[in-house]
Structure 1
Amino acid sequence: MHVSKRLIFRNVRVFTGDTTLRSANVTVSGGVILFVGEELSPHSPGDEVIEGRGRTLLPGLIDAHAHVFPGDLEQAALFGVTTVLDMMADPAQAATLRGSRGADLRTAGTAATVPGGYGWYLVDMGLLPPFPTLVTPDEADMFVASRFAEGSDYLKILLDDGSTTGLPTPSLAKETVGALVTAAHDRGKIVVAHALTAETARQALRVGADVLGHVYVDRPDPELVYELAETAVVPTLAVLGELFGPGTGGKALAADPRVSPYLTEGSRRMLTMGPFPLGEGARHDLGVATRTVADLRDAGVTLLAGSDASNVGTAHGATLHQELALLVAAGLPPREALAAATSAPADRFALHDRGRIAPGLRADLLLVDGDPTADIDTTLDIVGVWLAGRRLPRE
């Protein structure tokens, strides 16, 4: 009788997505996790056994905020990011990227904005083709129906008048935002809102957005922190530091020997590019963002890890590891930061087959030297990456 070859991790520390097992054995077959526990199941001569002593096995990481172009999913996977949640892309191009040899993709496709509003600069830069926009609430249902018909997995709404960057831009009326959220929810879909100010974050909250794509950067708002209890937030501290801060994180990543060999030349240029050009009267405070993340954590708000690559100072895959370190620096224990890149986004985006190491789930796995539940920096000490049980070459 033919017995398929299995993959066995032996005596490895396991972060399951929720808890840590100090020493366990994990068996994989057919791209699925079969067993997780202290017992070592019998193995055949053809099985691949990987010694895990001194190492940690993690669920493949989920980047909860990115923007994908050709080649990005392959690079993300090299850094153990096995699922990417794209938050605005050309839907036709995104369709061609699904099923690549890299990270698995979910996409918002075309985001909702007004003509000439936030996001249109990507068209002006030649990065996206012209895309549909809307103005009135009456247009919302058809706009949303069209997004899901062309393959969007969730809806992204852009709420930005340019005040934080000093680059004024027209923005959606609150009645139209409300109609968009209702239309998406009527179809059982999640809504992600781009909001960089406390005012727009509250607007998104009031109309029922499920996820805030950034943490607000303009002013503290202690009351809003507690109002966000049912809303997940993707802080994107790394990219905010590049946009509104010293902009040194990308350059440091590019120089890291654990990162540099796995970057495309385009990513290397993006990491070392900057600073982002801001307009006169830009209104932001990066310290507010960091303190707010700590407050959100203390208030029990669900935090998700996202890189916002492809932006200045970011690289797909690598920047998510930087984001984990910044979340820890902002006050999250390492285990909570790791959950923000595994089980938490899987739960919020209904990705029920991943985000944890448990029997029956996809064998998207990241093996690292050391213990990232104690030292988050070790997530970059990568030993191997597996996509649905298949080891990814990292040469």
Structure 2
Amino acid sequence: MIRRVEKKRARGFSRVLLAGGALLGLSGGQMAYAHPSSPAPAVLLEHVRLFDGTGAPEQDDMAVLVQGPRIVAVGQSGHLTVPEGAKRIDLTGKTLIPGLITDHSHVGVVSGTSVGAENFTVPVIRDALEQYERYGVTTVTALGLTKSPLFDDLRQAQHADGSLGADLFGVDQGIGVQGGMPPEGMVKVGKDQIFRPASVQDARQAVQTMVREHTDLVKLWVDDFRNGVATQKPLPVMKPEIWQAVITEAHAHHVRVAVHIHDLDYGKQLVAAGVDIIAHGVRDRPVDTAFITAMKEKGVWYIPTLSLDEATTLFAEHPEILKDPVLKAGLNADLQKQISDPAWRQKTASSPLAKASHAAVVMNQKNLLTLYKAGVKIGFGTDSGAAPVRIPGFAEHRELRLLVDAGLTPLQALTLATSQAAALLNLSDRGVIAPGKRADFVVLEVDPAENIAAVDQIAAVWRGGVRVAVPLVPR
């Protein structure tokens, strides 16, 4: 279960960020807001096609009544009791969907083309959260490589009514292995952003520290980082006694554990050990009956992150994508310069990792569809923000396309990115359009049911009952 502290010492910058907003508590995944004494004006969004996030068919000519940060009523246009003085917004021809939720991203790791500890700052993180929001991603889970107390304070600030940018949950630090994942030479985060325990006792202490910091989840990295490249020298992999100690200690504190894997064998071992969330898709070979059965019996969640491997080659092999206004909306000038460099594109496209990444996407899609059809619980995430080419917001739109390419319908893909993503986080207050839920939603110019690319045509984003973003691409 996601855990948060109910009362916490206010620190300097969080007091500034929280000015004018109300802190919330989280118990059993249910948000509790402190509302101002006078009720906020009601807003009626009417004559809209509605996808409510539950997986049910869309409904035409619907109305959604919002007051404050909450949805108070949903029904056919003209059939709701509307408070006097409510603002009416006619959305004829448009489609309303819940705000997207990512279960696996990172913040404060990347700025432009740089990767490292120097990027874990409030301005860098807030810029990313506002970019997520512009792309319709209203809740973000940073799955490790964070720094306390900055991350803890920033989560509190983002949970408050009226905050700018996507709401923020995530993992304090995370637990890797000495000399191994995540690779120090590539990620370049500070020692205070990840634990690398050498013993069972160190592992337990790392979990205890994260629990004291009120981490929402615990994160493990169990991977040799070969990424399907046979000639790549493997990195050291976490020993089973270490990961078992982490899982046991976390569960003793009622905190769930997510694990980074690449290969099926490690996935099987970690599921048997009691992990709660597989944080990347299996990419080395097809999943088998034993894995599927174990995932279902233990209720383990699976986050495929299809776009992770696609991003490795996408910009190098398709430079024409630089003309895409949806990409331009989130593209940093430094990264645009890099992508525009023919030498960078040639080096990237001809690397052994490029071929392996193509194979990984295909295998990941095949396994995702197999697990989906088998009834395994599937979440939504991208690993956006962990590398410069995994662009916040844009990566989530690519993920939806890849889910559809894998064999899901557009509405099935959107269900994973809304209600299912919320369910993975044990957040019962979002992910669907229904009375009592958070008023986090996206207004699309066209219907996504026939073409998932409709998610690019954002007319408006609302978070907490407030319109927070203008159209993603000016019309």
- TM above 0.5, one fold? yes
1:265 aligns with 2:304: no
Residues paired across the two proteins, number: 392
CA shift for structure 1 position 211? 1.2
**Equivalent position amino acid for 1:64 in 2:** D
Query: Which residue number corresponds to residue 82 of structure 1?
Result: 138
**Equivalent position amino acid for 1:161 in 2:** D
**Equivalent position amino acid for 1:293 in 2:** L
Query: Which residue number corresponds to residue 209 of structure 2?
Result: 146
Query: Which residue number corresponds to residue 90 of structure 2?
Result: 51
1:220 aligns with 2:286: yes
Structure 1 residues 251 and 359: alpha-carbon distance in aligned structure 2, compared to 1, 3 A threshold: farther
Query: Which residue number corresponds to residue 326 of structure 1?
Result: 402
Query: Which residue number corresponds to residue 371 of structure 2?
Result: 296
Identity %: 28
Q: Within 5 Å, which residues of 2 pair with 1:1-395?
A: 4-18=40-54, 19=56, 20-40=58-78, 41-43=80-82, 46-69=85-108, 70=124, 71-92=127-148, 93-98=150-155, 99-100=157-158, 101-121=164-184, 126-130=188-192, 131-164=194-227, 165=229, 166-223=232-289, 224-229=291-296, 230-243=299-312, 254-265=322-333, 268=336, 275=348, 285-310=360-385, 311-394=387-470
Structure 1 residues 30 and 285: alpha-carbon distance in aligned structure 2, compared to 1, 3 A threshold: closer
**Contact preservation (8 Å) 2:71, 2:439:** yes
Distance 2:355 2:59 in 1: 51
Specify the SS of the correspondent of 1:175: helix
What CA deviation, in whole Å up to 9, does each residue of 1:209-239 have, x standing for no partner? 1111111111123222343222221111111
**Equivalent position amino acid for 1:258 in 2:** V
TM-score (norm 2): 0.76
Specify the SS of the correspondent of 1:386: strand
Structure 1 residues 390 and 270: alpha-carbon distance in aligned structure 2, compared to 1, 3 A threshold: farther
What CA deviation, in whole Å up to 9, does each residue of 1:118-171 have, x standing for no partner? 01426x654444533213333332211111212321011100112325242112
**Contact preservation (8 Å) 1:89, 1:107:** no
Distance 1:153 1:3 in 2: 31
CA shift for structure 1 position 13? 1.3
**Contact preservation (8 Å) 1:68, 1:94:** no
Deviates more, 1:130-139 or 1:195-204: 130-139
Structure 1 residues 285 and 60: alpha-carbon distance in aligned structure 2, compared to 1, 3 A threshold: closer
Higher helix share: 2
TM-score (norm 1): 0.90
